[in-house]
Chain A
Amino acid sequence: MRRAALALLWLLALPATARPEALIVSLSAHRVLIGSNYTGAQIAVFGSVERDGRSVARADPYDVVVTALGPRQHLLVREKDRFGPLWLNSEQRRFGEAPSFLATYTTRLFREMGSEEDARRLNLGLRNKLIPAGAGLSYDIGEARFADALIRIKGAGKLYQEVERGVTFLTPSMFQAPIILPPTAPTGNYDVTVEVYSGQVLLAKQQTSFEVVQIGFEQQVARLARSWSLAYGLATALMALGFGWLATVIFRRD
């Protein structure tokens, strides 16, 4: 909580003179605690776009894009193909720095915000975030199908989310977006980026983060398994044998 308060103070202290718009962002929590009854979590992102009184009003509405990125993973996407009567893995692509969790929330539909090229240039949407930045507009369809498969499979488990109209304005300058963490989202550090656009021009950008950690019994188990792995294994094996033997005692009737 103190960290959150400090971050907020720091945000408020930022000089608002550099740009006509200043963005203030705050998260409802900076820590998600995993206990034995954990079934996922929700973190609210609150933000406010402060406009300098002297500057003229924008013709276009504010477009807010909230992006949450989980810990990176080294992923391999494989495609099955037909070989004679069998379906076997054929082609594969590596995603060396793929986020384990990736969610983007926007105020409007992407197509309302601009053309496909604009979205590519501004790095909007899941697909544009996964395809390497250097690939440009000529990114091959054959390559893109691996990114699409990744989005589809991760999306089924809500690990990748793209919610157009996920950001709502509470007042003309204040907005809110819920980040929904599925229970399978891994532990680690999550970065949250908030960008404000108007007519495809980036007006302001802020970054913050939260972490997902295990607490109590879960934390102890995970720590033991990592740092005392042999003892942990012995305990598991002895417990298994003990339970197995116990069952024969309990069930011995005949």
Chain B
Amino acid sequence: MQIYLPIAEMPISILLIIGMSAAVGFISGMFGIGGGFLMTPLLIFLGVPPAVAVATVTAQVAASSMTGAVSNWQRRQLDVKLGLFLTAGGLVGTMLGVLAFNSIRRAGQLEVVIALSYLVLFMIIGSMMLFESLRALMRARTGKPGRLKRAGQHPAWLKLPLRVRFERSRLYASAIPILGFAAMVGFIGAVLGIGGGFIMVPALLYLFRVPTMMVVGTSLFQILITMTAATLFHAASNQSVDIVLAVLLIIGGVIGAQFGGRAGRHLRGESFRVLLAVLLLAVGFRIGSELIFRPEEPFSISIQGARG
């Protein structure tokens, strides 16, 4: 069954889109990531113009993070205060990132910068997480006690001035690294056209030692605000949000996110991190392979200006 998308100017199979967005929504709800880095390439692969794909996926990510954030909120697994700090830092980073995005695009190497950054980021974060979580799993199996987190025990960079207490996350840390880090994620997200959840989640886990159960909800809360703003921005500046495609993606996405969230709650902390690490490595490898192997079609076309 096909439906015509008025902004993308092409017909698309309804069942295929709903199925695909449900699968991505599942992953999104499970790991507390937006899932944009999976959905956008899939849509482009189906022939949706890249500008429309990027802009419309922001609306879908807003919807699925809303579902996830509300469920986590009802479960008291969401640190609003920490989320607001992350959002504030993120907005500053996003603005700087948009400026950088435009200058890289003028240089004509946007596609390459995006692919390389994906490759490097995914490989580093993925392998670090995989290594750490496998070690934790081994430890659990052999029965040796791991290092337990004690109250008041924080790494040095969290002890800078301007300390803020985040009761929910059992965190008493300086606002400087939190805001700075959020700004960095916002910057990367704006350049790569993604929410940055896949950087935020591991960072909250490892750098800030936020409990696993709080990480997902807080990350989703921050993504929710950023992506709602991004939807407005894309609609106002590029007119490239396709509302018909958005509805299809949202229907699949929110249903998938609900089941994903449930599946995620039954996972143990270590297995959760192993799975997320494997996912990141797989996507990183997929994108990297395009840079490394001889392309089947060495030419590509991009539409530059409006039609005359």
A229 at the interface (CB under 8 A from B): yes
Q: Please name all residues of chain A whose beta carbon is closer than 8 Å to the beta carbon of B109 when the two chains form the complex.
A: 88-89
Chain B residues with Cβ below 8 Å from A214 are 6
Which residues of chain B from 84 to 114 have a CB within 8 Å of any chain A CB? 108-109, 111-112
Contact in complex: A236, B231 (CB < 8 Å):
yes
Q: Of the listed stretches A23-31, A79-87, A128-136, A192-200, name the one at the interface; the rest are far from the partner chain.
A: A79-87
Whether B4 pairs with A37 at a CB distance below 8 angstroms is: yes
Return the contact of B66 from the options A78, A87, A241 (Cβ within 8 A).
A241
Contact with B along A73-104 (1 / 0, CB 8 A): 11111111110011111001010010010000
- CB of A225 within 8 A of CB of B4, answer no
Type the 1/0 row for B230-241, where 1 means its CB is closer than 8 Å to any CB of A: 011111110101
In angstroms, Cα B241 to Cα A230, docked, is 11
Within 8 A of A (CB), among B1-54: 2-4, 6-7, 9-11, 47
B305 nearest in chain A by CB position: A74
B301 lies within 8 A of A237 (CB): no
Q: Chain A contact residues (Cβ within 8 angstroms of B): what range?
A: 35 or more
Chain A contacts for B244, CB-based, 8 A: 221
Q: Is B236 in contact with A233, judged by CB distance below 8 angstroms? A: yes
Known: A188-B307, A222-B7, A244-B66. A146 touches B299 (CB 8 A): yes
Residues of B close to A146: CB separation below 8 A: 299
A72 with B301, Cβ < 8 A, contacts A222-B7, A236-B231 known: no
Chain B interface SS verdict (over half) = helix
Closest to B249 in A: A240
Counting CB contacts under 8 A, is B258 at the interface?
yes
Q: How would residues 228 to 254 of chain A score, 1 for a CB under 8 Å from any chain B CB and 0 otherwise?
A: 011011111101110111111001101
Query: How near does chain A come to B229, taking the closest CB pair, in angstroms?
Result: 9
Q: Which residues of B contact A37 (CB under 8 A)?
A: 2-4
Q: Tell me if A218 counts as interface (CB < 8 A to partner B).
A: yes
| Contacting residues, chain B, for A157 (C-beta < 8 A) | 47
Max chain B Cβ within 10 angstroms of own Cβ: one of A77, A149, A232, A237: A237
Contact with A77, one of B59, B111, B247, B299 (Cβ below 8 angstroms): B299
A240 touches B235 (CB 8 A): no
**Which chain B residues border A109 with CB–CB below 8 Å?**
none
Q: Is A183 in contact with chain B by the CB < 8 A criterion?
A: yes
21 contacts across the A-B interface (CB closer than 8 A): A34-B4, A35-B4, A39-B11, A72-B307, A76-B302, A80-B299, A86-B116, A87-B295, A88-B291, A149-B298, A152-B299, A184-B10, A221-B7, A225-B235, A229-B235, A233-B231, A239-B243, A240-B231, A248-B70, A248-B71, A248-B74
> Which residues of B approach A to under 8 Å, CB–CB?
2-4, 6-7, 9-11, 47, 59-60, 62-67, 70-71, 74, 108-109, 111-112, 116, 228, 231-237, 239, 241, 243-244, 246-247, 250-251, 254-255, 257-258, 262, 290-295, 297-308
Beyond the given A221-B243, A237-B232, could you list 14 further A-B residue pairs with CB under 8 A, ordered by the A residue number?
A: A39-B4, A39-B11, A74-B305, A76-B303, A78-B300, A87-B291, A87-B298, A150-B299, A183-B4, A184-B9, A226-B239, A232-B243, A237-B62, A243-B251
